[in-house]
């Protein structure tokens, strides 16, 4: 998924960087900043001292569930962090994060994926935190594709992994009942 972001960024016409992303008032540049920041965040987690306890968060869905109560305040904090990240980096730096740094992060993750680290939502295995980055890269690649014609869509594997995480954010029986027309319960959105 990060390679798709890298390729799309290398092909990005200069005027598209300041165009609206379709995600609130974020520009394409801020959307890039948000997702590329995930590469750096994962690198920082890999480098931090390990936690020896069992993780507080069992998987990627538990990570997002722990952050959901922040609601609009959390979304505003994420948006502000993206704006700052975008303002402090050139377009090329945002794009290259998905290439050089991403390769090093993925190599380190393959060795350290079972390690438990401290994230903003609680302790979590690195491999589970990596799934949160798959979800972010997937959802936001769909956002990008809605405004940037040359952006490739997510891979089928990334889409399926994202669906798995999102469905885990809703009680399974309630989801099945709503999805099969047996309940009028509102299922979506599970994550905003």
Task: Show the tokens assigned to 166.
Answer: 């999102």
CATH number at residue 39: 1.20.120
Task: Show the tokens assigned to 36.
Answer: 């590329």
Tell me what the mean pLDDT of segment 138-153 comes to: 94
Domains in the chain, number? 1
Q: Taking the CA of residue 183 as centre, how many other CA atoms within 13 Å lie in the half-sphere pointing to its CB?
A: 11
102 lies in a domain?
A: yes
185 lies in a domain?
A: no
Top pLDDT among 53 and 89 is at 89
132 lies in a domain?
A: yes
134 lies in a domain?
A: yes
Look up the pTM and report it. Answer: 0.91
188 lies in a domain?
A: no
Q: Which of 108-112, 129-133, 159-163, 172-176 has the lowest mean pLDDT?
A: 172-176
**125, β-bridge pairs:** 116
96 lies in a domain?
A: yes
192 lies in a domain?
A: no
* Confidence bin at 25 (pLDDT 50/70/90): confident
Q: Which of 97-101, 147-151, 173-177 has the lowest mean pLDDT?
A: 173-177
Q: What is the pLDDT of residue 176?
A: 86
190 lies in a domain?
A: no
8 A C-beta contact, residue 8 and residue 69: no
pLDDT in tens, 80-109: 999 999 999 999 999 999 998 999 999 999
Q: What is the pLDDT of residue 184?
A: 77
The position carrying tokens 């903003």 is: 120
């Amino acid at each position: 998924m990060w390679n798709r972001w890298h390729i799309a960024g290398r092909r990005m016409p200069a005027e598209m960087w300041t165009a609206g992303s379709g995600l609130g008032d974020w520009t394409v540049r801020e959307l890039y900043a948000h997702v590329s920041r995930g590469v750096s965040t994962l690198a920082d987690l890999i480098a931090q001292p390990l936690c020896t306890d069992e993780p507080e968060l069992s998987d990627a869905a538990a990570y997002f569930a722990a952050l959901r109560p922040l609601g609009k305040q959390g979304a505003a904090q994420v948006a502000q962090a993206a704006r700052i990240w975008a303002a402090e980096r050139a377009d090329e730096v945002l794009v290259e994060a998905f290439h050089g740094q991403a390769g090093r992060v993925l190599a380190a993750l393959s060795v350290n994926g079972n390690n438990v680290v401290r994230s903003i939502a609680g302790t979590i295995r690195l491999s589970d935190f990596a799934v949160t980055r798959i979800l972010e890269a997937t959802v936001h690649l769909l956002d990008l594709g809605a405004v940037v014609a040359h952006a490739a869509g997510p891979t089928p594997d990334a889409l399926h992994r994202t669906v798995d995480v999102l469905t885990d954010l809703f009680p399974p029986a309630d989801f099945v009942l709503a999805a099969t027309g047996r309940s009028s319960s509102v299922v979506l959105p599970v994550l905003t």
